[in-house]
Structure 1
Amino acid sequence: MKFLKKSQLVKGTAAAMLLAASGFAQANVIVLDFEGVGDQANINDFYNGGTDSMGNSGTDYGIGFGSNTLGIIDADAGGTGNFANEPSADTVMFFLTGTAVLNYSAGFDTGFSFFYSSSTVASVFVYDGLDATGNLLATLDLSAQGFDNCSGDPNGQFCNWSPVGASFAGTAYSIDFGGTVNQIGYDDITFGSATAGGGDDDPTPAPAPAGLALLGLGLALIGRKRVVA
Structure 2
Amino acid sequence: MKFQQFSQLIAISTVSAAACLLSVGTAQAATIVLDFEGVGDFAPVGNFYNGGAGTNYGIDFSTTALGLVDSDNGGSGDFANEPSPNTIMFFDTGAAATMNVAAGFDTGFSFFYTTIGNPGSVTVYDGLNGTGNILATLVLSATPSTGNGDPNGAFDVFASTGVTFSGIAKSVDFGGVANQIGFDDITLGSAIAGGGGQEVPEPFTIVGTLIGGTAAFRMKKNLKSSNKA
TM range (shorter): 0.7 to 0.9
Contact 2:113 2:160 in 1 (8 A): yes
Contact 1:48 1:64 in 2 (8 A): yes
Match 1:141 to one of 122, 139, 142? 139
> Could you say which structure has the larger radius of gyration?
2
Alpha-carbon distance between aligned partners in 1 of 2:181 and 2:113, rounded to the nearest angstrom: 7
Other structure's SS at 2:41 match: coil
Counterpart of 1:100 in structure 2 is 97
- Matches of residues 181-200 of structure 1 in structure 2 within 5 Å? 181-198=178-195
Name structure 1 gaps, 5 residues minimum: 1-23, 51-56, 200-217
How high is the TM-score relative to the length of structure 2? Answer: 0.74
- Give the length in aligned residue pairs: 181
Cα deviation for residue 124 of structure 1 reads 0.4
Does residue 32 (structure 1) correspond to residue 30 (structure 2)? The answer is no
Other structure's SS at 2:194 match: coil
Q: RMSD across aligned C-alpha pairs, in angstroms?
A: 2.2
Counterpart of 2:66 in structure 1 is 70
Alpha-carbon distance between aligned partners in 1 of 2:213 and 2:101, rounded to the nearest angstrom: 32
1:137-164 Cα offsets, whole Å, 9 max, x none, are 00111111141x4536231000001000
Alpha-carbon distance between aligned partners in 2 of 1:146 and 1:106, rounded to the nearest angstrom: 36
Q: Which has the higher contact order (CA 8 A, sep 6+)?
A: 1
Does residue 81 (structure 1) correspond to residue 77 (structure 2)? The answer is yes
Alpha-carbon distance between aligned partners in 1 of 2:157 and 2:90, rounded to the nearest angstrom: 15
Does residue 61 (structure 1) correspond to residue 57 (structure 2)? The answer is yes
Counterpart of 1:205 in structure 2 is none
Counterpart of 2:158 in structure 1 is 161
Cα deviation for residue 122 of structure 1 reads 1.3
Superposition misfits of 4+ residues, deviation over 4 angstroms:
none
Identity, % of aligned pairs?
58
Alpha-carbon distance between aligned partners in 2 of 1:224 and 1:104, rounded to the nearest angstrom: 31
Name structure 2 gaps, 5 residues minimum: 1-25, 197-208, 221-229
Counterpart of 2:204 in structure 1 is none
1:102-126 Cα offsets, whole Å, 9 max, x none, are 1000000000000000021111000
Other structure's SS at 1:151 match: coil
Other structure's SS at 1:129 match: coil
Alpha-carbon distance between aligned partners in 1 of 2:120 and 2:106, rounded to the nearest angstrom: 23
How high is the TM-score relative to the length of structure 1? Answer: 0.74
Contact 2:180 2:210 in 1 (8 A): yes
Cα deviation for residue 96 of structure 1 reads 1.0
Cα deviation for residue 38 of structure 1 reads 1.1
Q: 1:73 to 1:152 in 2, by over 3 A?
A: closer
Instruction: Output the amino acid matched with 2:212.
Output: L
Instruction: Output the amino acid matched with 2:45.
Output: I
